[in-house]
Amino acid sequence: MKEIFALDIGTRKVMGIIARQAEEQLEILDVDIMEHISRPMFDGQIHSIEEVVKTVKKIKENLESRLHKKLNKVGVAVAGRNLVTFKEKITRELPAEAELDYQLVRDLELEAVEKIIADADSHLSQFHCVGYSPVYYELNGSRISNLIGHKGQNVSVEVIATFLPRVVLDSIFAVLKKAGLELINITLEPIAAINAIIHFEMRHLNILLVDIGAGTSDLALTREGVVFAYGMVPEAGDEVTEAICEKLLVDFTTAERIKRLLQSHKEIEYEDIWGKKRSIKSEQIKEGIIPRIRALAGSIAKLALDLNAGPPQAVVGVGGGSLTYNLINELAASFNIEADKVGIRRPSAIKGIKDNTNRLTGPESVTPLGIAIMTAQASGLRFIDIEVNGIKLNMLDFYQKKDILGALILSGIDNKKLHPRPGLALTVKINNELKVVKGTMGEPAKVILNGKPAPSLSCKIKPGDVIEFYDAKDGEDASALICDLSDIKPVRVIFNQEALEINAPVVMNDERVTPDTPVADRASIKTLALTLREVLVSKDININTLNEKQILININNQPHLLTQRNFTLLLNGSSVNLDTLVNDSDLIDFLPDVATFYKIKDVVNIPKVSERIRINVDGKDIDIEIEPVQIFMNGKQVRPEEFLVDGADIKVYYLQERQVILSEIFRYIDVDPQRLKGKTMKILVNDQPAGFTTPLAEGSQVKILFEELNKEVI
């Protein structure tokens, strides 16, 4: 027969029970009870782990010594400090002719608890499930009190699961580990108590069970055959003890002794904090602590009324605190129910218990016996030890239904770290065409189970498993350079006889950018046409040193705007400005030191000369072109080779017939100025005196004579 070890670690005392399941009853083999030496716990919460370990170790050693065996596994219960509860309903279709057994029902209940945990996601990452109770069962849609042995098409169960902060349970786990005990079963104290003392036959009544200890008062409520609510009040017997401390100025241990003597002694002797021996009548103390007892009853009633939506039909008290003077009467008053509907139940009311020690008689033994019963039946929740990233954790076993994902969530790893976030895409418009650049997908989380890559997050785990977790790596946001996205095709040109490939200019959000500029999200990118200005810049020519000046002239009363430069720029042989567009295979000539100035012939259309006459000047034949136009600039006749000046007024006359006059010969001959010193010039045409406007014809003979003043010299 299997023996079990159950521990009730209370605020004031610890009780250890060794029991053995024998046929239809649980046989109590040994019991050890010990109070904490100091006050290592307050309101059910362990404050000094080491002090609690000392007490647990001592009880363990006492039992081991008497039983002559080693104790290494234990079942425990915890008070409902900062308790939260959730309800969940699960429905499952059944195979044809399948008979419901204990395991199937248990699995269904645990599935509901798992769903609560899964749905809560990270909200319960800092909480442990410490127990649950079926609220009701349904078979084929109809309520039923017991599913085992039945057959049907579908089955449902609603459970109420209780959760406590991890810090509450972690302290219990730490105590057990330091005491050399392995936790095999855990439950909530009111669950243990109600399973022991409120039989299933009684649960059709609306009953409040209140387990009043030293630090907490734990509540459980039944109705219509089920336990439907749990709760906890962080007030209990210690509040009354502290009231005695304040009234009599004694330490806590002395006040606790006085409280226990109130019912059996009419007068109590004690020593105050000054070391003075004193004596006081019990009635005086009772009168002084009534307000505190009434406040405790009121706190219990307030929570119970909220949970129950009204007063219960009966209130059952268990736990050592239920023996507090007049508390039962105050509870009846707080609930406004008859006094005979509030009472204390003792272990003698628990079915299936054989106490060989005869020491478990008071209401303080009900919860420890409930823990022993649930440990023997393995009907509480079991925990397994695992390790995640070097941290030891206690994880709910749930009959091996737990997986790596559950372990990671329990360890506090955020769900967001399990899966990589894809990198953000880059969306841009290129020459008004939408383009999307995708970010990288990232790398999934890496999980190592016992030194090997885990097949999946749903891989089942077992006690002692070691998990290493490496966060998923988020994908990188998309990035690109201008040269990666814009359709830039280099333009091939010949610049000063050198072959070049030059990229067209690009602007992003109306600002000039280079090919290696990073692209901004939602940017508008445009490729501009290539100009000669861009070509010069690409050759490191300082555009700022190139000067251009515009001049305004009139040609036959028509204005013309011309640009004069301190450089020469030719495109395919023609003079052009800096903003002229460039195309493939263009020839570009740039002469930085050759200025560009316009002559009349550059802006006036002068017909090609087709006629000439030959004349003789001083024995030398000269061919004179007969020009078809006459040009005047600012009233003076000029040649087509004359340079233009700003503001010039040019008149162009196109002649149908034109005579050559004498003055035109001087375009073809030079007269030495030295020959004119002290002399006059005389011109003869065909031996006849002539002037500058004398007409010339084919074969005309021209002589130029120089005469002394008043003398004719040939």
pLDDT in tens, 477-524: 888 888 887 666 788 889 988 888 888 888 899 888 888 889 899 999
pLDDT band at 122 (very low <50, low <70, confident <90, very high): low
CA-derived radius of gyration, the chain: 56
Range among 176-185, 313-322, 461-470 with highest mean pLDDT value: 313-322
β-pairing, 207-212 vs 314-318, is parallel
pLDDT at 183 over 90: no
Residues 6+ apart with CB under 8 A from 690: 662, 683, 684, 702
Q: In what order do the strands lie in the sheet with 636-638?
A: 558-565, 548-555, 649-654, 629-633, 636-638
Q: Token pair of 465, please?
A: 């498993």
Q: Rounded CA gap, 111 and 363, in Å?
A: 34
Share of the chain above pLDDT 90, in %: 31
CA dist 455 → 207, 421, 446, 545, 680 (Å): 50, 21, 10, 71, 122
Give me the amino acid identity at 471. Answer: D
Mean pLDDT of the chain: 86
Asked which of 68-77, 378-387, 427-436, 630-639 is least confident by mean pLDDT, the reply is 378-387
pLDDT band at 399 (very low <50, low <70, confident <90, very high): very low
Looking from the CA of 530 toward its CB, the CA atoms found within 13 Å total 19
The 10s digit of each residue's pLDDT in 529-542 is 888 888 888 888 88
**Residue 634 DSSP code:** T
Q: What would the mean pLDDT of 198-205 be, rounded to a whole number?
A: 88
Alpha helices for 150-236 (secondary structure H): 166-178, 189-197
- 697 or 608, higher pLDDT: 697
pLDDT at 418 over 80: no
Q: Rounded CA gap, 221 and 682, in Å?
A: 147
Residue 397: predicted pLDDT? 59
Q: Which residues pair with 453 in a beta bridge?
A: 448
pLDDT band at 123 (very low <50, low <70, confident <90, very high): low
Q: Which residues pair with 705 in a beta bridge?
A: 682
Q: Rounded CA gap, 88 and 86, in Å?
A: 7
Q: In what order do the strands lie in the sheet with 446-449?
A: 391-396, 383-388, 466-470, 446-449, 452-453
Q: What would the mean pLDDT of 298-318 be, rounded to a whole number?
A: 95
In terms of Cα–Cα distance, which of 712, 667, 714 is closest to 692? 667
Give me the amino acid identity at 145. Answer: S
Strand boundaries in 356-462, DSSP class E: 383-388, 391-396, 426-430, 433-437, 446-449, 452-453
Residue 279: predicted pLDDT? 93
Asked which of 106-120, 254-268, 402-416 is least confident by mean pLDDT, the reply is 402-416
Q: Rounded CA gap, 569 and 579, in Å?
A: 11
pLDDT at 544 over 90: no
pLDDT at 464 over 90: no
pLDDT at 310 over 90: yes
DSSP string, 489-543: -PEEEEETTEEEEEPPPEEETTEEE-TTPBPPTT-EEEEPPPBHHHHHHHTT--G
Helix (H), strand (E) at residue 232: strand 226-233
DSSP string, 660-695: EEGGGGGGT----GGGGTTEEEEEEETTEE--TT-E
pLDDT at 595 over 80: no
Residue 400: predicted pLDDT? 41
Could you tell me the domains of the chain? 84-381 (3.30.420.40), 388-470 (no CATH), 612-640+648-708 (3.10.20)
pLDDT band at 596 (very low <50, low <70, confident <90, very high): confident
Residue 167: predicted pLDDT? 80
Positive or negative, the Cα torsion across 322, 136, 378, 79? negative
% helix / strand / coil in the chain, to the nearest 5? Answer: 25, 35, 35
Which residue in this structure is represented by tokens 């005389």?
A: 682
Q: Which long-range contacts (CB under 8 A, 24 or more apart) does 518-521 make?
A: 518/479, 518/480, 518/481, 519/426, 519/428, 519/437, 519/479, 519/480, 519/481, 519/482, 519/484, 519/485, 520/428, 521/424, 521/426, 521/427, 521/428
Q: Which long-range contacts (CB under 8 A, 24 or more apart) does 525-530 make?
A: 525/428, 525/429, 525/430, 525/431, 525/482, 525/485, 525/486, 526/430, 526/431, 527/430, 527/431, 527/486, 527/487, 527/488, 528/504, 529/504, 529/581, 530/491, 530/502, 530/503, 530/504, 530/505, 530/581, 530/582
Backbone angles phi, psi at 525, to 5 degrees: -115, 135
DSSP string, 427-456: EEEETTEEEEEPPP--B--EEEETTEE-S-
pLDDT at 657 over 70: no
pLDDT band at 635 (very low <50, low <70, confident <90, very high): confident
Residue 584: predicted pLDDT? 87
Q: Which residues pair with 571 in a beta bridge?
A: 574, 588
CA dist 419 → 184, 453, 667 (Å): 34, 16, 94
Distance of alpha carbon 714 from the chain centroid? 113
Share of the chain above pLDDT 70, in %: 94
Residue 507: predicted pLDDT? 87
Given a contact cutoff of 8 angstroms between Cβ atoms, the answer to whether 647 and 551 are in contact is yes
Residue 713: predicted pLDDT? 43
Q: Is 326 exposed, middle or buried (0-12, 13-18, 19+ CB in 10 A)?
A: middle
Give me the amino acid identity at 619. Answer: G
To 10 degrees, the CA torsion angle through 63, 67, 72, 73? -90
Q: What would the mean pLDDT of 689-700 be, rounded to a whole number?
A: 88
pLDDT band at 645 (very low <50, low <70, confident <90, very high): confident
pLDDT at 306 over 70: yes
Looking from the CA of 589 toward its CB, the CA atoms found within 13 Å total 11
In terms of Cα–Cα distance, which of 113, 103, 168 is closest to 135? 113
pLDDT band at 714 (very low <50, low <70, confident <90, very high): very low
pLDDT at 98 over 80: no
pTM as predicted: 0.58
Q: What would the mean pLDDT of 213-222 be, rounded to a whole number?
A: 90
pLDDT band at 380 (very low <50, low <70, confident <90, very high): low
Residue 487: predicted pLDDT? 66
Given a contact cutoff of 8 angstroms between Cβ atoms, the answer to whether 210 and 222 are in contact is no
Q: Token pair of 554, please?
A: 């009139």
pLDDT at 121 over 70: no
Q: Rounded CA gap, 683 and 106, in Å?
A: 142
Alpha helices for 102-225 (secondary structure H): 102-120, 166-178, 189-197
Q: Token pair of 370, please?
A: 């409930």
Asked which of 44-53, 342-351, 601-610 is least confident by mean pLDDT, the reply is 601-610
Q: 292's torsion region: left (phi>0), alpha (psi -120 to 50) or beta?
A: alpha
pLDDT at 710 over 70: no
Given a contact cutoff of 8 angstroms between Cβ atoms, the answer to whether 217 and 232 are in contact is yes
Q: What would the mean pLDDT of 110-119 be, rounded to a whole number?
A: 80
Q: Rounded CA gap, 129 and 125, in Å?
A: 11
To 10 degrees, the CA torsion angle through 624, 630, 634, 638? -10
Q: What would the mean pLDDT of 659-682 be, rounded to a whole number?
A: 81
